[in-house]
Amino acid sequence: MTNPIFVAIDTPYLEDALELTRRIKGQVGGVKLGLEFFCANGHHGVHEVQKLGLPIFLDLKLHDIPNTVAKAMQAINLLEPAIVTIHAAGGRAMMEDAKAAAGLHTKVVAVTVLTSLDNHDLNRVGVPDSPELQVARLAALAQEAGLDGIVCSGHEVKAAKTAWKDGFFVVPGLRPAGGTAADQKRTVTPRHARDDGASILVIGRPITKAESPDDAARAIMGTL
């Protein structure tokens, strides 16, 4: 089995990111660098991590008017990331323009409903539907816009995959059995997400905060 684990390297410190990536390199399929890392280290930081040889998932969650998002996408093309995130809530035109501006080898995926939100939180931001319904709605819009796939929780990935057979499904909010949810609200185990059709598994703290991150990654891989 190809290793589906992408570790969320959520740190602003380049040296820490490099050390962690070196340590887990043999146990994972790729690394995810987010806003925190990119704001602190920019293109240089991404290049340095890239030199270690793992695919890079650049999680910038772009969300703005179509022109601005397309220009931002062009500005990161030089980095040739394997995966980039945008927000589906930016609308169809924004997603279309983002995909058109992305490099040929970059998968552009749309964040649907953040895994840190539950039904109540979603209602508070003006969406009267359940996360399941909202994910289905935004996944259909992302597919129409020509994106490669979506980001959703393990609660919705099975239905999303049934509706979009060749979609690429990124699933974060994963916790090994008995793990601490922290700020995540829609969690499942890595195995559950994998069985339900996740293409890649985004895992942060259960690996990065473990006493031995490489052992933690190996143990999670062993459950898949």
Ligand X SMILES: O=C(O)c1cc(=O)[nH]c(=O)n1[C@@H]1O[C@H](COP(=O)(O)O)[C@@H](O)[C@H]1O
Binding interface with ligand X (CB under 6 A): 8, 10, 34, 59, 85, 111, 114-115, 151, 172-173, 184, 202-205
Catalytic, 64? Answer yes
- Is 194 annotated as a binding-site member? no
Nearer to ligand X, 8 or 82 (CB): 8
175 is in an annotated binding site: yes
**What sections of the chain are H helices per DSSP?**
14-24, 35-50, 66-76, 92-101, 119-124, 131-144, 157-163, 190-195, 205-208, 213-223
Among 173, 222, 176, residue whose Cα is nearest residue 202 = 173
| Active-site residue, selected from the candidate residues 25, 51, 59, 195 | 59
The verdict on whether residue 32 carries a ligand-binding annotation is yes
Minimum distance from residue 169 beta carbon to ligand X (Å): 12
Query: Do the bridges between strand 5-9 and strand 168-171 make them parallel or antiparallel, or are there none, so unpaired?
Result: unpaired
Q: Could you give phi then psi for residue 84, rounded to 5 degrees? A: -135, 145
Nearer to ligand X, 145 or 150 (CB): 150
User: Token match 């690996």: residue?
Assistant: 207
133 is in an annotated binding site: no
Whether 59 is a known active-site residue: answer yes
Helix (H, G, I), strand (E, B) or coil at 141: helix
Q: Rank residues 6 and 164 by Cβ distance to ligand X and give the closer one.
A: 6
What is the distance between the terminal CA atoms of the chain, rounded to a whole angstrom?
A: 9
2 is in an annotated binding site: no
Q: Smallest distance, Å, CB 1 to ligand X?
A: 21
d(CA 26, CA 145): 36
Query: Which among 25, 51, 61, 161 is annotated as catalytic?
Result: 61
Q: Shortest Cβ distance from residue 111 to ligand X (Å)?
A: 5
Please check whether residue 94 is in contact with residue 65, taking contact to mean a CB–CB distance below 8 angstroms: yes
* CB 24 to ligand X: min, Å: 14
Extract long-range pairs of 71-75: CB within 8 Å, 24+ residues apart: 71/101, 73/98, 73/101, 73/102, 73/108, 74/101
Which residue among 25, 64, 158, 214 is the active-site one?
64
Residue numbering of the annotated binding site:
10, 32, 59-68, 115, 175, 184, 204-205
User: Where is the binding site for substrate, in residues?
Assistant: 10, 32, 59-68, 115, 175, 184, 204-205
> What residues act catalytically?
59, 61, 64
